[in-house]
Structures are given as C-alpha cells and as structure tokens.
C-alpha cells in the first residue's frame, strides 16, 4: 500500500502503533454507521458516498492485511449495528423473559455480518498491492468487485441475509429504482457502490485534474440519463387495475404482547372480523373480493373451535359477491407422536375450505428454526419446537383469482426468489408481522424490499401486516395505497395488473450484475495476461 502522508487523515499523524490502528478502526466504524442514513426511512443518499469514500481513504492507508481486516470489520460493524439495531426490539416485547439477551442480539448479528466486510477488505489489501494500491484504476475496480462479491455472499450463504443492500439507498427515487427491472437490486447496488466510492478514489488518484473533472461530468450525465430513462418508463406504463376484483387489505394492529395471550384470542379475532365484514351500503358488489389477513392471523386451533369458525363463515357470507380469504395461519400436523408446525398462507373459499396451502420455506434462523436443531432446541427460549420448512416457491391457481405467488414475512427480501420459474403468476402476496419491531426503521425497510420485488418482477405486490406497513404496490414499485405503521385499517383497493411483458431481470436474473462485475475485472485480467506473456 501507499505509505506517503495522507492529508485527509493528517490529524492522526501523532498517533502510532496500536493507538493509531484503534483510532482508524473507530473511524472506519463511524464511516459504516454514517451510511445507514442513506437507507429507509431517511433516504439521505449522499451518506452512502460520505461513508464509502471515507472508508476508501482509510483502507488506502493500510500497510497489512491484518489491519485491513480490522478496518473492514469495524466498517461493517458500524453499518450493520446501526441499520439492524431494531431487530433486538423483539426481545423488549412486554412479557418476554429473555430481555437479558438484548445486548447479544443487538451486537451478535452485526458482528457476524461484519466478517464479510473484514475479509473483503483483507482481500482488497492483498490483491491491490501489486497494482499500486487503491490509488490506481486497477485498485478501484478490485475494490468494487470484491465488496460486491462479499455482498452477494452475505445474501446467499448460511440461508442468506440480503438486508439493506446498497441499491436500496435509491428507493427514494422512483426513476432510478427502475434500473432494478433490468439487473435487479444487486446490479443497482454495484452501480451505487461505484458512485459512492468514486470521490474517495479520485482524491488519491494521481492524474490530472482535468481528467478527474471529465470523469465526474461523465458520471453526472449517466445519472441524469438514468433518471430520464426511468421517468420515461414510469410514464409509459401507468398503473392499470382489474375492474372486477377488489382487495380488502386488513391491518389489525394487534400489539405483539397481546397477540398470543389466550385471554385476548376472542378480542383479536373480533378485530379481524370487524375489519373484514362487508360494509353497508356496499354489501352488494358486482365484483370479487379478496380479504387478506396478515401472518399467523389465525391458527388451526382457532379454526377447530366451532364459535370461531362460525364467526369467520358469517364474515365471508356478508359478501353478496364472491369472496376469498387469504390468511396467514399457524398450522400443525400430527405424525408419529410428533406435532409439526408450519407458518403458512392459506386461501379459503366461502365455506372455509382450503383452496391452496403454502408453507413458508425460507425460515428465519434462530427465530423460526435452529440450525442443527437435533443438538440445539428452541424450547428453553420460546417454548416452541420451531417450524418445518415448506417445499419452496409456488404459484397458487384458484378459481376466479389471478394466479399469485405467496410469500410469508421475510421471504420477500430475496431478489430473484419471489416467483416460481416457469410458472409465472400475475401478482405477489406477502403477509407479515412487523409488530415485533415497534416504531423503528425495520418495518419501513421491509416495505422497501417489497417495492423492489415488484419492480424486478414486473408484478404488483399486495402486502398485509399485523402492523408494519401494509400496502398495494404496482409493477413499477409505485405505492398505490399504504397503511401506516401502528394503524388499524382495512381499505378496499383495486388489484393492479402486471406489466404486459416480462422484465429483463425476471427473464435473466442477475446476468447483468455478473456481466458488469466481469467488465470491472477485465482490465485486471488483461494486465495479468500481458504480464504473463512478457519474457
């Protein structure tokens, strides 16, 4: 790495040894923490540039792989600690006996995710040393490529957790978000990282000022071209709706501490029924109604109760037109002296007969199942043996309802995993319960992920949350209607139609992402090939 004095961190010149490494690691942590402001609900995109360019300058000063790892880990820990702190709110729900685990919960996951950035920084340090460090064009390309590979890995290995990918920082801009229709959010993240790290690179790149200014002008032109293209796409495809189908989107806003209390079961069901019953004078409807209840709104135990099932039947019978209930259900099956539980999304007809059953396949580690569950048990912590995973993506085709892709809770956060390949639906249903996380950034970030799945797939998304942000999103990611956090409501909303064609991302997945990544690495590959050919 380049060891010449760097004026951008000259204030640390008096520090040496461990103290300097500690100070720079703390500065890397701050750079990561700053980037969180670019994500929902703040949407301050320049924060991504400030954080990544600052980290770029710090990493350029590293003189060993070990210190690079420390800086990278500190950078990642700052980013994930501040952007995922809301996860620990689940342990603060009234009546939870395990609030003492809060410090581990708030720091454990960010510390683990930060390892991806630590190893990425170490790889950057080792690989760029032979090309003049991060102050060279080769170094910049390698930095972008390696950190995006790290992002892809954290979104895929160990079941994956692609939360707050860099591309989500552009959620505030509908035109720029349209780029996800072509290459997905990983490609958009790659482009975002190129922009965010560019100022840091230009500050240490030993080239003429005129050349740097020319590059900045070119980037600005490309950004405005992307905005114009996005605006054209938005204007070309105005939202269209089914004229014979209405969604009753139910958000009961039941407090998490009350959701599973036995003495509240009747009141909770009554809330759902009151919100779902056909309204006068609109009882006679010439159209079909889809009533959508959130994740685990009811249980198999409740459906076996005659009073509860009769009440649900009466609610469905209140509609003179055809009505279908899509509800999150806590299901169970008994077999061989074992009771197996499923987190499901079930469609019911007016006789409360199941038309389609989807069992959540992508379960939350340590929340819905424990890895190596034959050794570790969830019972001491949640009085529950965990859920059984379903078979995976499905397209539900039931009478009088356009085929849909059912997704439960955080299954909506996985790019390219929202629709069954080869059996394309016309819309996506996502049921969830974000009441665990209170009034925090988590539910807002979760809703943003649903918007991007709509853009990527060119399909409308209907999202029902116990509380969180429920809403109807058109196939270009525009929010047709949403129910704010901590609000009880059940609006009737027309179901949007899908795009008339399949998006590039829906057809080819992350192809554009990988092609761009290879393009970034091409100069390095050509340089190596030329070096090998030299005598």
Instruction: Report the catalytic residues.
Output: 295, 360, 409
3-state secondary structure of 434: coil
- What are the residues whose beta carbons fall under 8 Å from the beta carbon of 96, sequence distance 6 or more? 90
Taking the C-alpha atoms of residue 37 and residue 55, their distance in angstroms, rounded to an integer, is 16
Q: Are 360 and 344 in contact (CB under 8 A)?
A: yes
DSSP 187: H
C-alpha closest to that of 386 among 374, 403, 398: 374
- Per DSSP (E only), the strands in 380-513 are 396-398, 401-408, 427-432, 461-465, 470-473, 479-483, 492-496
**Structure-token match 């030993």, residue found:** 206
Taking the C-alpha atoms of residue 243 and residue 465, their distance in angstroms, rounded to an integer, is 25
Q: Could you tell me where the DSSP H helices lie in 173-287? A: 174-177, 180-204, 209-236, 256-259, 265-276
Q: To the nearest 10°, the Cα dihedral for 115, 119, 121, 124? A: -160
**CA-based end-to-end distance of the chain:** 27
φ, ψ (nearest 5 deg) of residue 13? -65, -25
Q: Are 12 and 20 in contact (CB under 8 A)?
A: yes
- What are the residues whose beta carbons fall under 8 Å from the beta carbon of 519, sequence distance 6 or more? none
Question: Would you state the structure tokens that stand for residue 223, as one six-digit string?
Answer: 């950004």
Question: Would you state the structure tokens that stand for residue 251, as one six-digit string?
Answer: 């958000």
Output the CA angle 236-241-243, nearest 5 degrees.
140
DSSP 509: T
Please name every residue paired with 343 in a beta bridge, in sequence order, or none if there are none: 330
3-state secondary structure of 289: strand
Output the CA angle 314-316-321, nearest 5 degrees.
125
Taking the C-alpha atoms of residue 255 and residue 486, their distance in angstroms, rounded to an integer, is 9
**How many residues would you count in the chain?**
535
Q: Report the sign of the C-alpha dihedral through residues 299, 300, 303, 304, in that order.
A: negative
């Amino acid at each position: 790495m380049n060891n010449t004095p760097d004026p951008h961190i000259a204030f640390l010149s008096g520090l040496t040894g461990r103290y300097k490494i500690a100070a720079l690691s703390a500065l890397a942590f701050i750079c990561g923490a700053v980037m969180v402001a670019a994500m929902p609900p703040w949407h301050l995109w320049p924060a991504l540039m400030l954080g990544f360019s600052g980290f770029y300058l710090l990493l350029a000063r590293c003189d060993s792989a070990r210190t690079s790892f420390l800086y990278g880990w500190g950078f990642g820990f700052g980013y994930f600690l501040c952007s995922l702190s809301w996860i620990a709110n689940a342990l603060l729900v009234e009546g939870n006996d395990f609030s003492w685990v809060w410090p581990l919960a708030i720091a454990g996951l960010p510390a683990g995710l930060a390892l991806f950035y630590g190893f990425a920084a170490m790889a950057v340090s080792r690989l760029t040393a032979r090309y003049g460090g991060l102050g060279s064009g080769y170094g910049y390309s390698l930095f972008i490529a390696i950190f995006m590979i790290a992002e892809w890995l954290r979104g895929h290995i160990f079941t994956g957790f692609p939360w707050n990918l860099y591309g989500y920082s552009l959620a505030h801009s509908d035109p720029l978000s349209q780029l996800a229709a072509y290459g997905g959010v990983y490609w958009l993240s790659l482009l975002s990282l190129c922009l965010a790290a560019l100022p840091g690179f230009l500050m240490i790149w030993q080239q003429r000022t005129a050349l740097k200014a020319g590059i900045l002008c070119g980037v600005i032109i490309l950004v405005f071209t992307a905005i114009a293209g996005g605006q054209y796409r938005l204007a070309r495809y105005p939202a269209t709706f089914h004229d014979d189908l209405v969604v009753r989107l139910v958000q009961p806003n039941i407090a998490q501490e009350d959701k599973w209390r036995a003495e509240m079961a009747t009141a909770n069901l009554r809330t759902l029924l009151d919100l779902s019953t056909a309204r006068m004078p609109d009882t006679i409807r010439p159209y079909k109604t889809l009533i959508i209840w959130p994740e685990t709104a009811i249980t198999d135990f409740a459906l076996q109760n005659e009073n509860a099932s009769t009440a649900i039947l009466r609610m469905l019978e209140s509609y003179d037109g055809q009505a279908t209930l899509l509800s999150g259900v806590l299901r169970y099956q008994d077999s061989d002296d074992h009771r197996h539980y499923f987190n499901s999304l079930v469609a019911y007809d007016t006789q409360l007969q199941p038309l389609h059953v989807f069992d959540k396949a992508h379960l939350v580690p340590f929340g819905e199942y424990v890895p190596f569950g034959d050794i570790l048990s969830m019972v001491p912590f949640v009085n529950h043996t965990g859920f059984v995973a379903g078979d995976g993506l499905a397209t539900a085709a039931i009478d009088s309802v356009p085929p849909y892709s059912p997704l439960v809770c955080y299954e909506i956060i996985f790019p390219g995993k929202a629709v069954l390949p080869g059996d394309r639906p016309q819309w996506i249903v996502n049921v969830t319960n974000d009441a665990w996380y209170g009034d925090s950034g988590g539910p807002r970030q979760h809703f943003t992920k649903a918007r991007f799945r709509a853009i990527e797939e060119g399909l409308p998304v209907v999202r029902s949350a116990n509380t969180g942000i429920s809403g109807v999103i058109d196939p270009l990611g525009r929010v047709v209607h949403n129910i704010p956090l901590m609000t009880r409501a059940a609006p009737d909303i027309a179901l949007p139609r899908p795009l008339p064609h399949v998006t590039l991302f829906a057809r080819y997945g992350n192809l554009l992402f990988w092609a761009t990544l290879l393009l970034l690495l091409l100069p390095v590959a050509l340089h190596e090939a030329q070096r090998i050919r030299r005598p």
